[in-house]
Structure 1
Amino acid sequence: MPDVELSHIRARSPCPPDEPVTPAATLEDGKRNGYVETNELNNESEFSHNAPSQNVFSASTPTMRQKARIQFATLCFSLFLAGWNDGTTGPLLPRIQSVYHVGFALVSLIFVFNCVGFVSGAGANIWLTDRFGFGTVMVIGSLAQVIGYALEAPAPPFPVFVMGYAINGFGLALQDAGANGFVASLKENAATKMGILHAIYGLGALSSPLVATQFAEISRWSFHYLVSLGIALFNTALLIAVFRFKSQDACLEEIGQMPSHDDGNDGSDPNKYRQMFKLRVLHLMAFFILIYVGVEVTLGGWIVTYVRLLRGGGPSSGYISSGFFGGLTLGRVGLLWVNEKIGERRAIFLYAVLAIALELVIWLVPSLVGGGIAVSFVGVLLGPIYPIVMNHAGRVLPPWLLTGSIGWIAGFGQAGSAFLPFLTGALASRVGIKALQPLLVSMMGFMVILWALVPNNPRRSD
């Protein structure tokens, strides 16, 4: 026993050059065997500096932890604005139709131009981020929303009004991609934070219809976009103050998390687009999110018109949209324990099937109150799906392509918030708003099929 203690002491003390055991050698041996004593790493600062770049260090000081909370809260506010934007259109849609004297097909141009903006933002995000950096791109996205709301607030001619939606969509795509990619790159509680991030989105979508329903009944209905403009300006100021136009790696270093490049790729490969688009799982998940977001926004946007025309709802029907997005918020936080208990992959199948069953109730049971309650429960069930998919992307996508890939999935998926609502409007112009529920049920069934095709194991780029 004394010999063992003596050798242990000698391993920690300075040794002559011919001594076979040194602190550095001990550390390397520990790494090769899969362990390193934490107190040695903390006490010997030179070891930390010499550690390989793939090691990830978490926030270890109060200042770093506070900075991490501020960064996360700022991204949550950006997602709040995204939810606010998506929840606005539904209650205002009947008023927009009456003011501009347009039918279902023409008013759906709002969603078409929004789609153009989203797809443009999704495609440009990777190039812009590589060229200007994460912090700058987030500010560009927020400023685009400011411009969009400024165009919409005075109720301009209809072509200018829908152009505002296109610019707004571009900005939303950039921020949605950046926020999702940043949170997915976090090494501590990423799954929980992703759920909270998108719960805040739901909170924004819950709040917006409460305000938009009031503006829809007054002569200055378009002044609702002035409220949105104020929120967008505050969002811009927050992004500038917190991220200060820095790259994502620099922002992560500020909270004590060194970037990880496990595969020897530093993220600057000029063929990044080619690497990403060779991944089959990327396309499957992008199309899944496109359908999911489309279902979410279509239900939240067109349900007000559906209830007023087919269920005899009055001006207060806009609150049903709030009930849906409120359920969305509740589901993203309240069902986290279910996701952990049964597994996230199985959870999506369960939630989708139950949501389809409730949609059939809304479709086939002509009850205003029952339909409103069922819509809220559909929101609860659909809520956890988006953050689950983002978490799954972090498990199955190559780490050096993770941020760009999640940005593409999020941005491309947001196009669904324009495409499916437009498709609903086009169908409604031919057969009436009764086409809403069959379309939603079929799209939810398609979601189940797409999710079954998404692999459950990590895939590497060829």
Structure 2
Amino acid sequence: MRLIFYFGCLFYFIVGVIHVCMGSLIPSLLQYYERTPDQLGILIFFQFTGFLFGVLSSPVLVKKYHYFKTLTFGILAMLVVLGGFLFVKEWAYLAVIAFGLGYGAGLLETTMGSFVISAEQNSAAKFSILEVWFGIGALGFPLLVNYFMKFYAWYFILYGILLFLIFTLLVWYLLGSSRFNSLSPQKNEKEISLSPLTVSFKNGKVKIILLISLFAFLYAGIETNLANFLSTIMILTNNELISSISISCFWLAIVIGRIFVGKFVYKFNYWIYISSSCFILVILLFLFPFVRGTGMYLSVIFIIGLVIAGIFPITLILASRIMENNIDEVTSLFIASASLGGALVSFLISWSLSLNTLNITFGIFSFFAFILGCIILKMRKISNYSNKDVKKIESMKSL
């Protein structure tokens, strides 16, 4: 199981790289293809649309082909579209690349995430570690882009990703096939009854599903678009020199925050932690347009990253535990809603940025964060799920 978890960390690292790939290349794409920032929103849309398809197809593929073949297919999907870029560099093909990378990343994240949540002891801590590696990938890639762009053309970055995926596929096939081929989705025979954990869940099943979906949609609308458009935001504030550094600063804060969450997760009250994080986020996002000075911008971006760090993994753990008998489906639903939010909200954010004012953009972000806090408060009323219930389930896994 340890080797499988290590592969999970590797896959989440790749997903983190793919997550910020298009956003990090925006300045180069603007110049090379002579496009405007709102036109590049189309690439973000295709990336998250592909991610959505990958997320939704994951439970179906896992049930039919099990974990190993599903994860292998995700890597191959990314390899194929990047391989095509060796021969076609047209603007239209970038949309194909964005979709293919998104699809493969969606398969990897959902498949490995649902496996860790359902099969691992201390799943909240383990899932936070996976999210740390996601953050490391998202943090390191903009720094790599910033360095390599001094010596090479921007498309060599995509060639580098292609080579890394080839290496990953070889290692995965040689070491992972023997361990993962025998693993199939669990059948919940050892799962404890949900009735004492979620007394009012059955009566509010549809409401819970809608709240989970809306939460993931709005959260991704904030996190992914803030990360992808951060370089554009810095350009609009006349801080072009820190456009790449700001993205790395954001993801560095998320990595640090998720390490902290993974280490101390069981000392928190999950509901209070998530709701307080959401409402603090409202204040920070609302105040962002009034910040002045390079140092202050980086400081506020870092604090936003710290605050937002634990919201996604802890909420996903709660959602999965509330609907314990459908972990694969709930994980897929949560991440699918997140990818849909990342795709659709990108158009709204790119439009708001075209107005050359940050007030509307961050007004949208802060409004979304406020709704997140309200959703968590509502979910807490519907379900009586608590930290003790999490620990009870984790102890059952060791039986």
TM-score per shorter chain, which class?
0.7 to 0.9
Match of 2:67 in 1: 134
Once the two structures are superposed, residues 192-218 of structure 1 have per-residue CA deviations (whole angstroms, 9 ceiling, x without a partner) of 101111011011111011011234455
Of 349, 369, 384, which residue of structure 2 is paired with 1:424? 349
Relative to structure 1, is the Cα distance of residues 380 and 289 closer, same or farther in structure 2, using a 3 angstrom cutoff?
Answer: same
Aligned residues: 374
What's 2:394 paired with? none
Check whether the contact 1:134–1:246 (CA below 8 A) recurs between aligned residues.
no
Identity across matched positions, percent:
18
Alignment of 1:34-433 (within 5 A): 68-152=1-85, 156-217=89-150, 220-244=153-177, 250-251=182-183, 260-262=188-190, 279-310=206-237, 312-336=238-262, 339-399=265-325, 401-432=326-357
Contact in 1 for aligned 2:227/2:247 (Cα 8 Å):
yes
CA gap of 1:94–1:324, structure 2 versus 1, over 3 A, is: same
**TM-score relative to the length of structure 1:** 0.74
- Cα gap change, 1:296 to 1:328, in 2 (>3 Å): same
- Which 10-residue stretch deviates more, 187-196 or 228-237? 228-237
Task: Please give the alpha-carbon distance, in whole angstroms, between the structure 2 residues aligned to 1:242 and 1:287.
Answer: 39
Q: CA deviation at 1:219?
A: 5.6
Q: Secondary structure at the match of 2:68?
A: helix
* Segment of structure 1 superposing worse, 78-87 or 219-228: 219-228
Partner of 1:282: helix, strand, or coil? helix
Residues 290, 316 of structure 1: CA spacing in aligned structure 2 closer, same or farther, 3 A cutoff? Answer: same
Distance 1:442 1:216, change over 3 A: farther
CA shift at 1:288, angstroms? 1.2
Q: Secondary structure at the match of 2:75?
A: helix
SS at match of 2:112: helix
Cα distance in structure 2, aligned partners of 1:143 and 1:158: 22
- How far apart are the structure 1 equivalents of 2:19 and 2:245? 14
Q: 1:246 to 1:426 in 2, by over 3 A?
A: farther
Give the Cα separation in 2 of the matches to 1:210 and 1:182: 31
Contact 2:124 2:262 (8 Å CA) reproduced: no
Structure 1, unaligned runs of 5 or more: 1-67, 265-274
Q: CA separation in 1, counterparts of 2:174 and 2:358?
A: 45
Q: Is the 8 A contact 2:234 2:242 kept in 1?
A: no
- Aligned-partner residue type, residue 93 of structure 2: V
Per the alignment, in what secondary structure is the counterpart of residue 206 of structure 1?
A: helix
- 1:352-389 deviation digits (Å, cap 9, x = unpaired): 22222222332212222101111011111111111101
Provide the secondary structure at the position in 2 that maps to 1:108.
Answer: helix
CA distance in 1, matches of 2:239, 2:42: 25
Q: Find the structure with the greater CA-based Rg.
A: 1
Encode CA deviations 1:147-194: one digit per residue, 9 max, x unaligned.
233345677111111111011111111111101100101241111101
Compute the TM-score of the two structures, normalised by the length of structure 2: 0.85
Structure 1 residue 279: Cα displacement: 4.4
The whole-number CA distance in structure 2 between the counterparts of 1:149 and 1:282 is 36
Relative to structure 1, the CA distance from residue 335 to residue 128 in structure 2 (aligned partners, 3 Å threshold; closer, same or farther) is closer
Distance in 2 between residues matched to 1:343 and 1:291, nearest whole Å: 22
How many angstroms apart in 1 are the aligned matches of 2:132 and 2:254? Answer: 7
Q: Which has the higher contact order (CA 8 A, sep 6+)?
A: 2
**AA in 2 matched with 1:77:** L
Letter in 2 for 1:418: A
Alignment RMSD (CA, Å): 2.8
Which residue identity does 2:232 align to in structure 1?
T
5+ residue gaps, structure 2, are 193-201, 386-399
Residue type of the alignment partner of 1:284: L
Does the 8 Å contact 2:66/2:184 carry over to 1?
no
**What CA distance in whole angstroms lies between the structure 1 residues aligned with 2:345 and 2:276?**
23
